[in-house]
Amino acid sequence: MEVMQVLHMNRGNGETSYAKNSTVQSNIISIAKSITEEALIKLMNNTVMESMGIADLGCSSGPNCLLSAWNIIDAIHATCRDANRPIPELSVALNDLPTNDFNYIFASLSEFHDKLEREKGSGFRQCFVSAVAGSFYGRLFPRRSLHFVHSSSSLHWLSQVPIDLENENGIATVTNKGKIYISKTSPQSVLKAYAFQFHKDFSEFLRSRSEELVPGGRMVLSFIGRNSSDPTTEESGYQWELLAQALMDMAKEGIIEEEKIDTFNAPYYAPCSGEVTVAIEAEGSFGVDRLETVEIDWEGCLGEKSYDVKSKSEAISRGLRVANTIRAVVESMLESHFGENVMDELFRRYGEIVGDYFYERRPRYGNIIVSLVRKG
């Protein structure tokens, strides 16, 4: 599978779009907001900066894209106001893969600029927003042109299906029978291949950013991760297990071929914090200022929330809502492998399976938030 060509969030603002189904990710941006503010205060510490290069990597489309940019600008504004300093000219680059719906972003820009001027004053006329299409697992910007990098809910996507699971023609070489991600039944070789691919990709990400950031430059990255060192636990990616169940049900009824399931592996990995710190230390260009893991439930709520489900129909409607949030993210990949015609049926079944699961469990995504500083 060519991830660069098939991975994109659902476009536009229709019912199954990412724009309409990204509350979980929006809440994650809000959770990391105080860490982003802290990093920007430290970055601007007692220094008058004439201009600042900022990048949001894996920006997608929809309201979250400009929400991250807004939070960063808001924090810079507050820091300058409190220190009675002029606001630097800002260059804000929004990056995603070339198949991203950049038109949606461009269409929202004039409203964004109007809001900036209205709420922050004329100093923010000098905020230059641009889009940069390309993979963040490689160079995107000139050397030492960035001061601050932000990325939310994106780095759990790998650059490719782990190398040892597919040959160069995209044909599966190791069988992960009936599964589409790491599962309790996966052979050890599958676990190793995923961990290796994450390490390789994340190291490349750090290497590329180390070239682009100025010494003392900062990054705040948040992405799905896990608390346990065991990647087969339910917190590690049970949404894929349930999706595989829906696919297998369809295979049993002859709607799709079982072989198609065996040959699909998600280009995704939820690392534990140890794997993240090992890669940062081995790459060597960044110091860890802060690393936190937080949990958010599948419906986007933080902390304890009652999962009491009062009726079957309530469970199903909650399951279908969760299925829509996952559909908005993974549909492009599944469509290219299983065909567009089975998508509605797949996600209807998936919603019911997720709804049933809510009777027994309080499923959550783990999230790693890491604040890094480029060594001088």
Residues that bind ligand SAM (CB under 6 A): 7-9, 22, 25, 29, 58-60, 64, 95-97, 100, 135-137, 152-154, 157, 159, 329
Strands across the sheet containing 286-297: 127-133, 89-96, 51-57, 146-152, 213-225, 364-374, 286-297
Tally Cβ neighbours within 10 Å of residue 85: 14
Q: How far is the CB of 135 from ligand SAM (least distance, A)?
A: 4
Select 25 or 197, whichever has its Cβ closest to ligand SAM. Answer: 25
Select 86 or 98, whichever has its Cβ closest to ligand SAM. Answer: 98
> Do residues 16 and 331 touch, judged by C-beta distance below 8 A?
yes
User: Cα(186)–Cα(55) distance, rounded to whole angstroms?
Assistant: 37
Q: How far is the CB of 98 from ligand SAM (least distance, A)?
A: 9
Q: How far is the CB of 85 from ligand SAM (least distance, A)?
A: 29
> Do residues 333 and 327 touch, judged by C-beta distance below 8 A?
no
Q: How far is the CB of 310 from ligand SAM (least distance, A)?
A: 31
> Do residues 365 and 295 touch, judged by C-beta distance below 8 A?
yes
User: Cα(190)–Cα(57) distance, rounded to whole angstroms?
Assistant: 28
Q: How far is the CB of 146 from ligand SAM (least distance, A)?
A: 15
The residue of the chain with the least Cβ separation from ligand SAM equals 58
Select 91 or 100, whichever has its Cβ closest to ligand SAM. Answer: 100
Q: Nearest Cα to 3, choosing from 134, 166, 161? A: 161
Q: What is the DSSP letter of 98?
A: T
Q: How far is the CB of 367 from ligand SAM (least distance, A)?
A: 11
* Cα atoms in the Cβ-side hemisphere of radius 13 Å centred on 197: 24
Cα 272 versus chain centre, distance = 15
Select 183 or 325, whichever has its Cβ closest to ligand SAM. Answer: 325
Select 100 or 197, whichever has its Cβ closest to ligand SAM. Answer: 100
- Rounded alpha-carbon distances, angstroms, from residue 181 to 42, 185, 232, 235: 39, 10, 10, 13
Q: How far is the CB of 328 from ligand SAM (least distance, A)?
A: 8
Residue corresponding to tokens 């490349």 = 204
Range list of β-strands (E), 82-173: 89-96, 127-133, 146-152
User: Cα(34)–Cα(31) distance, rounded to whole angstroms?
Assistant: 7
Select 57 or 127, whichever has its Cβ closest to ligand SAM. Answer: 57
Select 44 or 369, whichever has its Cβ closest to ligand SAM. Answer: 369
Q: How far is the CB of 154 from ligand SAM (least distance, A)?
A: 3
Range list of β-strands (E), 263-360: 286-297
Select 56 or 235, whichever has its Cβ closest to ligand SAM. Answer: 56
Tell me the Cα Rg of the chain: 21
